[in-house]
Every structure is written in C-alpha cells, then in structure tokens.
Chains A and B, each alone.
Chain A
Amino acid sequence: MTSAAPAIVALDPRRYRRQRVIDRLVAFVLGLCALVVVLPVLGMIGYLVLQGGRLVDWGS
C-alpha cells in the first residue's frame, strides 16, 4: 500500500522528508520491540541449557 503523502506534500519537500524520517524511525523502534521476543528464547536455550548446568549440583 502506498501513501498519497508524497503527492500531497510535494509543495513542501522538507515536511515530507521529516515525515519520512519519523516513519522510518518508528518502524525501527517497533522492529526492536518485536525483536525482544526472540531474546528470551535464545536466552533460554543459551542460559538454561549451556550455562545453567553450572548452577546445578549433579551429585557424585
């Protein structure tokens, strides 16, 4: 889906550029928020399976 914003603010290129920068910045921040979900999964695999072994007393 393409926005009509470029056509409508064509008379004000500076405003269009600013809006485009804001849009990209927002997309980046939202992407980071979505990426947060990956961290616990990787963390669980990494920390619990690999590092967690150290915390457990496996006995003799």
Chain B
Amino acid sequence: MPRKGMLEGGIMPCIVGTMVLVTGTMLVALPLGVFGAVYLTEYARPSVLTRLIRLSIVNLAGVPSVVFGLFGLGVFVLLCRFQASILSGALTLALLVLPLVITATEEALRTVPLSFREASMALGATRWQTIRKVILPNAMPGILTGAILSLSRAAGETAPILLTVAAFYLPELPKKLSDQVMTLSYHLYIISTQVPGAPDRVQWGTAFVLLALVLGANSVAIALRMSLRRRRKW
C-alpha cells in the first residue's frame, strides 16, 4: 500500500484499480461491440440507419480521449449521478474502445468464408443458428485479438479516467462499483508531474508495471490467436 502521500510503499491499489476498471470496461464494450458488429456484417442492409451507424463508428474512433473524459463527466458523473466511480469510468472507457471492438469484430467476421454460411443455411439452419454455431466460433481468434488490444488501450488511457474515476491518493482496495480507484496511468501522471521530490524508482516502477501489464495482455492475445488458428481445419 502507498504511504506518506505516495512517497513510500507500493502500488497495489493502482494495479487492482486498473484491473477492476479494465474488467468493467470489457464487460460493457465486448457484448455491445460484438453484437453491433454481427448486426452490421450479417443483418444490416444498406440504408440511412446503417450509414449513420458506420459514420458514428468512424467519428467515435476519431474523438480525442480527453473529450470522452468530458463527456463521461457530463453524462455519467453529473447527469446520471453515478459520481466519480468505477461505473462512470468503465462506461466512459467502454465508449472509447467500442469502435475498436466493432471494427476488429467486423474484420474477423468477414474472414469467415461465404461458403460456410451457404453450407449452414443449405442444411436448414436459420440465420441466428448459422451465426452462433458457424460464424462466431470461426471468427473467435480475430474477435479475441481485438478484445485484448482494446483492453490494453483501456488500461493505458489517462484522460478519460481523469474526470470520471481516478483518485489521487486512496491507499485501499475498491469494494463496490461506486468507489473511486487509483489507476496506474493516472498514478504515473500524478507522480511525475504533481508530487515534488517523488523518488525516481516509484515513477519508473509504475511505468514498468503498466508496460508489463499492457505487453502481457498483448502477448496473451497473440498466443490465444495462434492457438485458436492452429485448431482451424480450413
């Protein structure tokens, strides 16, 4: 636990806070993103609505992360009265990674050959059965890769959580969704810019742990993708 205004002690609350926040983010972004992408790839016909959704995805991907922070502050913290909490932060980060998840999932779904769909439907499966039992399992490596890359992005972001969840100094672990948390990225920012006389080892240590976390997640993504691809029969 951090002590003496973060000049001594460890960064356990930051690691746990980052993990909790990222888990919450993925719980929101993954189902929404994957289902949205399935709709766009498998169901949607060219229409004004589809064009509006695609335009929104492109626009959302181009919005600077600090604007997401302001949006989260305005909507989740103030309007919905969630206060600065894990819930507000996770929802804000989920919006940030949603375009990434949708784009990765769409790409993964497009790699499944059309003949798989045709064969499934020729055997009498409905569209949903085809998606559930043929398309999604075959697209899983791509979807998982996209998900884990989004997870890394969420873990490394500072601006969106600045106004919605991050605590400056909170030497305890989060207990409920309405708690604030310390996170690694915000801790690194604070310790490097706002704490005079902070020992170098704290800054470098935090940076190392954050980097290890992100690289670890990316390595898991690569290993998972390779393992799932090896199981493919086509």
Contact = CB atoms under 8 A, between A and B. Distances in A.
* Interface hub of B63, B75, B118, B123 (most chain A Cβ within 10 A): B75
B67 A44 contact: yes
B147 to A, nearest CB: 15
A34 B74 contact: no
B39 A1 contact: no
B60 interface: yes
B114 to A, nearest CB: 8
B95 A40 contact: yes
Contact of B74 (A7, A22, A33, A55): A55
A38 B37 CA distance: 13
B74 A4 contact: no
Interface of B: 31-32, 35-40, 43-44, 49, 52-53, 56-57, 59-60, 63, 67, 70-71, 74-75, 78-79, 95, 98-99, 102, 117-118, 121-130
A9 B157 CA distance: 51
- Number of chain A interface residues as a range: 20 to 34
B130 to A, nearest CB: 8
Given A44-B63, A47-B74, A51-B74, A36 B125 contact: no
Interface of A: 1-5, 7-9, 19-20, 22-23, 26-27, 29-31, 33-38, 40-41, 43-44, 47-48, 51-52, 55
Nearest to B98: A37
A51 B70 CA distance: 12
A9 to B, nearest CB: 7
A58 B44 CA distance: 45
Nearest to B72: A40
Given A3-B121, A7-B124, A34 B36 contact: yes
B53 A5 contact: no
